[in-house]
Structure 1
Amino acid sequence: MLGNKLLMFSIMHNLSLTLKEGMFSTRSDCSTNSKTYQSDKTEKTYKARDTRDKVHAIDEQMTQGSLKILKLSQTRANYVSLHNKLKMMATVHQTQPTIQLLLSTNEFVRALDLISTTQEVLSQELAGVHSFRHLGSQLAELEKLIDTMLQDDFVKCISTDLNRPITDVEPIAEEEKMVSLVFGMIRKSRFNFVDVYREEAFTAIRATVKQTVVEAVSEAETLDSEENVASLGDQMRLLNYNQWMDLLVKIFSNLLVQLNRVKTFHGVISDVIGIAAGKTQVPSPLPSPTHSDKPILEEASHLHVSVSEDAADMMISEADFVGVQGSLNEMMCAACDHAHDRCVKVIVARSKDGFLERLSSSEFVSLSREVENFVNDCESLCGRRSTSLRCSLQSQATKFVSRFHDERRTKLSLILDNERWKQADVPTEFQDLVDHVSKTGNLVIPERIPDSDRKPGDTIKVDKENFAVVGTVLMLLKMMVEYCQCVDDIPSAAPDLLTRLVDLLKIFNSRTCQLVLGAGALQLVGLKTISTRNLALASRCLQLVVHYMPKVRTHFEDRLIAKNKTMLKHFDQVQKDYSDHINEISNKLVTVMEGVVSSQLVKWEVKAPMPSACFRAICKQLAKMHEALVDILPLDQVKDIFSRINQSFKVFIREQCIKLDVSRNGGPQHGLVMSDLAFHSGTFKTLRGLENLSCDMKEIFDGS
């Protein structure tokens, strides 16, 4: 076994030697080159190994540490990013509980902002996270739920506010919650909340009117159990005037409470949308710092709760702001109009049996005054006049004015037909009336002052001027004031009342003319004649009416709308007719005396004794006429009348002198004429106010 191995080793050795020899013989040809090459290769190998050692040393000492730092930094950044992602995921995981918490505190805007932000994060930062694959749709459903919740809670909130007891004086209920709800709906661009509020306000107004009627009917003692079976309208028609007026006043009062609540909502929401549009300063319990570079904003004048600063960032467009503000204003006006419509239904329901037509003047005026007060209060709330309630009374007002006028026209005609045209005593109530008008400038009838010690006066004193009058004109004066007072109570009836008053004044003027100048009183009341005193009294009565006409005209002019002021020309025409009538009476007085003078001078004979009988008769009639006029007409008017009579006398006496051939020649006849004229002049010197009125002798004999 060992030999075999040795034999094999020998064979292998020999073979190896043979191969080496062959190789050596092959390499022997280039031995010189091989040695050179081997030497170079060895040198390069040593240099490469040295370079690699140096690079390895540099890599270990200078590169590996920095690279490790960079790797660790990137690893840390990845860990931080992962941590942030995890925190974000944890935060997003808490979104729904947070939203529920915000909703429980009425933070609707923040809840909606959180949903919006979370949706944005899910779509960008956490896109593809499998665990949140359903959260986006859940948040979308939650947003829809919040939208529904906002509208439902808003309806409940405003219903609670509007349906509070009338006695609750709080301006607005749950203001903080209402403001939060409105901000939330603005955040969702749900601007229909104004329409929702309007419908709820309409419902509350209807409920208020119905409840007030029910309470009034249930409290009425005049209604028995059988009548209570009827409908509510039928029961209301059983109320008497006082009960019904109390009901109407209560309805007006309760409606004003509701309308003031609507007005408060209007103001609060105006501030809210102003804040949302960046036009109103955000109210805060702490004073806000002033910044000179910021625009000055309006103060929130109606909000009584603080608002989150986040609301200031929730801007709405100018168009949306204008639209919502316009809707708010229209809603306020619509609420007032609806309140008027409900009141109209109450009035119409009560008038079905002719109730309003049977009202007395004072009762209807009281009704009109209450309606006018309510309408004015509503106008101050909404800034616009509502017409439905006024129009509902307009037809009835026309009937009332017609009846009002018929009563006074009939009364005036009756007292005129029984007037004897004698000076009447003036009761104190009429003197108080003119004194009140002079003192206050208001054409209203003052409250009567009971005073048994005061006695009637002989004349009525108006602005330091005495008027001797008959009783009829005192009644007319009172009626004129009643018309003025009525137009204050029923402004809508001003044109009709002016027409009726003009008619009344025309009646007095024409009937006075018929009875005095036309002598109609002779047949009606049995006067023997129409004396100068009767004429003077008629003139003075007309003058008293004319004295008050400018005041009455101004009173109506202030209450007529522009298009109806042309009706004042009829009033001006009546005033002219009165002035013409006064002049006619003055002419009549002069004519009467001219007739006396003419008839006496026809019989005049220039012969002794002097003064002649004719002149004695003329002067007697002059003195008698003066006595009749001087205590009735002012002295300037008396003097004017007698001046005209004297001018006519001069004409008559000159014509008579020509006829009798008497000239200024100093003869006996001339002396007798001068004696009569001196007697005539002396008579004037004894008459009060006519002392300087006498004949001018030169004028009488001019041309003779």
Structure 2
Amino acid sequence: MVCPSLALSVCVLTHLAISTLLQPPIVRTGLVPHTAAASSGYKPPNSRDIPPVTLTNIQRVNAKVFEPYLSQVGSLYDVLQQAKETNGDQEPQLARDGKTSPKQEDNEYLSQLSAERRPSTLSVNSRASSPFDPRGRRRSSARNRGHAVTPLSTIPPVYFDDDFHLENPRTFDVVSEKSEVVTPPKAPSKDGKAENGAPVGPAQTGRKALATNAILQEKLSWYMDTVEIHLISSISTASKSFFNALGSLRELHSEAADSVNRIQILRKDLQKIDREMALGGLKIVNLRRRRENVRMLADAVSQLRDVVLSVSRCEELVENGNIEQAADSLEEVEKLMAGEHTAGTPNETEQARKAIDLRQLKALEGASDDLDQLRAQIGTGYETRFLNDLLGDLRQHIDSVPSETTLQRWGSSFQRQRGVQRSGITVSPAYMAFDDQLRSRLRAHLTGLARAHHTTAAATSFKTAVLREMKSLIRKHMPSSSDDDNESMVSVSTHRSSQLSQQEKSSILARNLRAMDADDAYNMLTRVYTGISESLRRLSVQVKVLLDIASGLGSPTSVTKPPRSPISPIPDNAFGSGSRTPTTPLAQDEILQVLDMSSLLGQAVDIAQSQVNKVLKVRSEQTSHLSKKNFLKYFTLNRLFADECEAISGRSGTALKNLVGNQIRDYINRFGDKQRHRVVEVMDSDRWDARDFGEGEVTILTRILDASTKDIRAWTDASKIWQAEGKPNDETAENTTNGSGKLRSAVIDEQKYILSESAVAMMRSIEEFQFLMANIPSMIQDIAPGLLESLKLFNSRSSQLILGAGATRSAGLKNITTKHLALSSQALSFIIALVPYIREFVRRHVSTSSLMGEFDKVKRLYQEHQSGIHEKLVDIMSSRSSIHVNAMKKIDWDGSDSTTTSPYMETLTKETGTLHRVLSKHLPDMTVSMIMDPVFNSYREQWTKAFEEVTVHTDSGKQRLQRDAEYFQSKLSKINGFGDIGERLLELVKQKATKAEDKEQKPTDADKSEANNGKKSP
């Protein structure tokens, strides 16, 4: 029977069951059919009486609420779908025949349920459309075949709409077919009654009342019946699968119960076996495992004991300084902790014992720190040896190379840069020679540092030590920084010096540096500079060797080039038989990164130059007062040192060059002032007498002249500090005579110059400036203006002393004579002749048009000055001639019978002769002619006029005048430029007529007129 199973789902009917829809519409609505009309006293409600309909807000239910239900029914629904797919072609027959229908009793039960819910008031059409009789009888098959199941399409689609809501007015109108809920009243007549006198009823609007619309109710009932029939058909179709599933479920339940019984029996058997056999075997297995664990624990404890002993031994080796063995022991400890067998042949016990990794033991949590500390101590030991060997080699090299050797190397490099060919055999510098034993030791140290993972720290320490060594190298050669001048460098570190503050030490050191003389300061700087150079050169070689060793670490010696010397076997053992360890590339990278040669050398050069700059700044004042020779040595030393630093590090050393450049400018200014002061002193004390131009002056003049075309070796050798000092050149030789007492003259281009002391002093000053420019060609732009100022000063000062008669006050001269003027003119000519050579010398070193123009201006100034001197001489002689003319006019030619020459003529000829003699002695013939020609032209004008104006009345007077003219002719006729002045004067004298001659000749008026015209004509 199926009824008990269906009772849970089908038999229990409620007011929500679908079967209630099969009841008659009147019954469902609660109205009595065929209800009589309302009583006459009934008054239908109007729109005011009926309250407005409030639509109920139906709560939406979330779909998740149905998930439990859907999960239960889902399996059955799947079975239903499968049944539809397999039996789709048999579904129509379920309603016509009973071949595949459910059991008869199931159908009858379902029909009975339907009949119980439908009374006899069900419409005929409704009963006829159902395939089952309401009383449980089946209709004939022919009738069944004649009446098919009403399709669902007859139901309006609004009922199947997903958004079907009856409270929606539009939906309600469609469902109720626009029926009125309340029938509106009819319109009353004029008297308020109907035609038959009855009360007014509802108005006829064409729409049926919902309460009395039986057809609509039948339609709704019809729709429900149709849906129910389709539901019954669907349930009938799925019932077979459903009941099959229930049967299968019962079978599964029975099989599961049987399986549970069997499992219980099996468990009982297994428990019995466990108690009898398995527990004993497991106990044996556990005992064996425990024994193995105990053995492993014993081995681990033994291994741990070996670790502890090895660590203790390693610490002992480190304390004793055996860092190689300590490194080996440390590696063994690490292998023991990692569970690796150590090197060597193990005994049988160690071979049988299996090592394990102990690094995760809690007891060894701090062991890594201890091992790192031991490794750091080992690395520190290697680092100490590493630094001692390198710094010791550095210091030994500096001490073994003399300063002269370093200076010679600098000089060779300097000359090579200037294109000078080196002579002799080229010798490899000492810093290139590297000891093979030192290389072997360094290789061993680097290997140990790599094993101790201490390469970076050691390289950094070496870098710091090198930079510190640069400072100590400079400090070692400095004077004492204590008050005791006799205190040695060792005593600087004593308690007495340590009590001084750093500022006091610096102050004392600066004072001692300033107190040093020029030679001591130069020697100190030489030792400092050469030491720094050799240390930097040696350092570069050391870095190259270290990088070379680092690049070959770990490579088998049989593969690489043969070693230069036997290397200690310790590092070879550490790396096995030439195998490359993982730490080797790391060590190489660390060395390459830390020991960057360009950076290291650059920093060392910067520190060294920084310390040197401080020393040079302290002695700036003393440097500016150095002699020419000492300053050139100082400048050359600093220039070579700066070039050496730049060649080593690639850095220009701007700070040092700027400092030295400023000191050079300061020195040049002081040097120029000193030279001008010296020239002025000589000129002020000069009495402007001719002096002998000796061998020393000739040498200086020759150098000045030759410097226009070539370098003067005597000048350039002064800056070659790398050469051994020989016998000094006799540049300042005292004036020597040639034995005959004749003064020697300076010669330039076959032109002789008789010079005074001032001109020679100026020549020496010119040579000093050229000497400085030849040795410091880079500073010619600063030196040449000083030379130009000295030349201008000489010109202006000589003008003040001679033309301005300043020498009468400065040198005590009584007056300025022709000799003084001649010597001044000669000095100017001498400088004018030198200026082109000086100009060419400057142009050869620096081609600056402005400087060339300045020399041309100076030359013009000298020429103008010289022309002024010549004009001065002419003016003097003209004025003297005027005085003599006036004296001549005062003579009474007829008053005395003197037979001698007049005094004025004697004086005139004497002065003129003296002038010519002095000029001829001190000046060249051309210059003498340039001066004498204007003098004689003046004489011609003055004396011709004077002789024309003389009136002679007696013969004695005429003879006296003639004697003066003849004397003038005889004394001056031999002088170039005199011309026919004497003859003209004699002619004028002869033309003079006395009174006696006038009486004898009695010339006519015409003759007198002609005679007068002849007198007036020149």
For 1:436 and 1:615, locate their aligned partners in 2 and report how far apart those are by CA, in whole Å: 50
Tell me what 2:937 maps to: 647
Q: Is the 8 A contact 2:692 2:744 kept in 1?
A: yes
Tell me what 1:633 maps to: 923
| Cα deviation, residue 403, structure 1 | 3.2
For 1:501 and 1:391, locate their aligned partners in 2 and report how far apart those are by CA, in whole Å: 23
TM-score, normalisation: structure 1: 0.54
Q: After superposition, where does 1:146-295 map in structure 2 within 5 Å?
A: 165-166=397-398, 167=400, 169-171=430-432, 173=434, 204=466, 207-208=469-470, 210-215=472-477, 217=479, 222-224=485-487, 229=497, 234-235=508-509, 238=512, 240-241=516-517, 242-260=519-537
Query: Quick check: 1:462 aligned with 2:462?
Result: no
Q: Is the 8 A contact 2:692 2:735 kept in 1?
A: no
Q: Could you give the per-residue CA deviations for residues 247-282 of structure 1, whole angstroms, max 9, x where no partner exists? A: 2112222233345457779999999xxxxxxxxxxx
Tell me what 2:834 maps to: 548
Q: Secondary structure at the match of 2:432?
A: coil
Tell me what 1:412 maps to: 679
Q: Is the 8 A contact 1:375 1:385 kept in 2?
A: yes
Q: Is the 8 A contact 1:557 1:568 kept in 2?
A: yes
CA distance 1:670–1:480, shift in 2 (3 Å): same
Query: Quick check: 1:533 aligned with 2:819?
Result: yes
| Cα deviation, residue 628, structure 1 | 1.7
Equivalent residue letter for 1:532 = T
| Cα deviation, residue 547, structure 1 | 2.7
For 2:525 and 2:820, locate their aligned partners in 1 and report how far apart those are by CA, in whole Å: 52
Query: Quick check: 1:403 aligned with 2:670?
Result: yes
CA distance 1:202–1:250, shift in 2 (3 Å): farther
**Equivalent residue for 1:620, pick from 910, 914, 918:** 910
Q: Is the 8 A contact 2:537 2:648 kept in 1?
A: yes
| Cα deviation, residue 198, structure 1 | 13
Range with greater deviation from structure 2 (393-402 or 329-338)? 329-338
Tell me what 2:635 maps to: 368
Equivalent residue letter for 1:585 = I
CA distance 1:550–1:338, shift in 2 (3 Å): farther
For 2:829 and 2:653, locate their aligned partners in 1 and report how far apart those are by CA, in whole Å: 43
Query: Quick check: 1:683 aligned with 2:967?
Result: no
| Cα deviation, residue 585, structure 1 | 0.6
Q: Is the 8 A contact 2:754 2:826 kept in 1?
A: yes
For 1:332 and 1:654, locate their aligned partners in 2 and report how far apart those are by CA, in whole Å: 91
CA distance 1:348–1:202, shift in 2 (3 Å): farther
Q: Could you give the per-residue CA deviations for residues 310-367 of structure 1, whole angstroms, max 9, x where no partner exists? A: xxxxxxxxxxxxxx9xx9989988876665444323323555xx55456555544432
Q: Is the 8 A contact 1:536 1:629 kept in 2?
A: yes
Q: Secondary structure at the match of 2:746?
A: strand
Tell me what 2:770 maps to: 484
For 1:569 and 1:198, locate their aligned partners in 2 and report how far apart those are by CA, in whole Å: 59
Equivalent residue letter for 1:207 = E
Range with greater deviation from structure 2 (690-699 or 587-596)? 690-699
| Cα deviation, residue 159, structure 1 | 8.3
For 1:655 and 1:263, locate their aligned partners in 2 and report how far apart those are by CA, in whole Å: 95
For 1:266 and 1:484, locate their aligned partners in 2 and report how far apart those are by CA, in whole Å: 45
TM-score, normalisation: structure 2: 0.39
For 2:618 and 2:769, locate their aligned partners in 1 and report how far apart those are by CA, in whole Å: 29
**Equivalent residue for 1:598, pick from 882, 900, 907:** 882
Unaligned runs of 5+ in 1: 1-148, 182-195, 272-283, 286-323, 663-667
CA distance 1:523–1:677, shift in 2 (3 Å): same
For 1:693 and 1:383, locate their aligned partners in 2 and report how far apart those are by CA, in whole Å: 78
Q: Is the 8 A contact 1:418 1:525 kept in 2?
A: yes
Tell me what 2:617 maps to: 348
Tell me what 2:219 maps to: none
Q: After superposition, where does 1:55-94 map in structure 2 within 5 Å?
A: none
Unaligned runs of 5+ in 2: 1-378, 402-429, 444-457, 549-560, 563-592, 719-727, 988-1013
CA distance 1:269–1:532, shift in 2 (3 Å): farther
| Cα deviation, residue 505, structure 1 | 2.5
CA distance 1:620–1:270, shift in 2 (3 Å): farther
Tell me what 1:589 maps to: 873
| Cα deviation, residue 618, structure 1 | 3.0
CA distance 1:360–1:621, shift in 2 (3 Å): closer
Equivalent residue letter for 1:418 = S
Q: Could you give the per-residue CA deviations for residues 69-100 of structure 1, whole angstroms, max 9, x where no partner exists? A: xxxxxxxxxxxxxxxxxxxxxxxxxxxxxxxx
Q: Secondary structure at the match of 2:805?
A: coil
CA distance 1:411–1:439, shift in 2 (3 Å): closer
| Cα deviation, residue 515, structure 1 | 1.6
For 1:657 and 1:174, locate their aligned partners in 2 and report how far apart those are by CA, in whole Å: 107
Equivalent residue letter for 1:256 = S
Range with greater deviation from structure 2 (473-482 or 256-265)? 256-265
Equivalent residue letter for 1:165 = H
Q: Secondary structure at the match of 2:729?
A: coil
Tell me what 2:77 maps to: none
Q: Is the 8 A contact 1:542 1:578 kept in 2?
A: yes
Q: Is the 8 A contact 2:540 2:597 kept in 1?
A: no
For 1:395 and 1:451, locate their aligned partners in 2 and report how far apart those are by CA, in whole Å: 34
| Cα deviation, residue 374, structure 1 | 2.7
Q: Secondary structure at the match of 1:462?
A: strand
For 1:363 and 1:268, locate their aligned partners in 2 and report how far apart those are by CA, in whole Å: 40
Q: After superposition, where does 1:35-114 map in structure 2 within 5 Å?
A: none
For 1:502 and 1:450, locate their aligned partners in 2 and report how far apart those are by CA, in whole Å: 23
Q: Is the 8 A contact 2:397 2:534 kept in 1?
A: no
CA distance 1:657–1:355, shift in 2 (3 Å): closer
CA distance 1:582–1:382, shift in 2 (3 Å): farther
Q: Is the 8 A contact 1:469 1:540 kept in 2?
A: yes
Equivalent residue letter for 2:397 = P
- Using CA pairs below 8 Å that are at least 6 residues apart, which structure has the higher relative contact order? 1
Tell me what 1:134 maps to: none
CA distance 1:373–1:644, shift in 2 (3 Å): farther
Q: Is the 8 A contact 2:390 2:542 kept in 1?
A: no
| Cα deviation, residue 516, structure 1 | 0.9
Tell me what 1:79 maps to: none
CA distance 1:529–1:548, shift in 2 (3 Å): same
Equivalent residue letter for 2:696 = E
Tell me what 1:573 maps to: 857
| Cα deviation, residue 382, structure 1 | 7.3
Q: Could you give the per-residue CA deviations for residues 515-544 of structure 1, whole angstroms, max 9, x where no partner exists? A: 211112223344222111111111112222
Equivalent residue letter for 2:803 = L
Q: Could you give the per-residue CA deviations for residues 396-441 of structure 1, whole angstroms, max 9, x where no partner exists? A: 3343334333333333333333322222344553344224445666
Q: Is the 8 A contact 1:337 1:386 kept in 2?
A: yes
For 2:668 and 2:854, locate their aligned partners in 1 and report how far apart those are by CA, in whole Å: 18
Q: Could you give the per-residue CA deviations for residues 376-407 of structure 1, whole angstroms, max 9, x where no partner exists? A: 45566678854322311333334333433333
Higher helix content, 1 or 2: 1
**Equivalent residue for 1:517, pick from 791, 803, 814:** 803
Equivalent residue letter for 1:553 = R
For 2:622 and 2:799, locate their aligned partners in 1 and report how far apart those are by CA, in whole Å: 40
Q: Secondary structure at the match of 2:512?
A: coil
Q: Is the 8 A contact 1:208 1:255 kept in 2?
A: yes
The alignment-based identity, stated in percent, is: 20
| Cα deviation, residue 163, structure 1 | 7.2
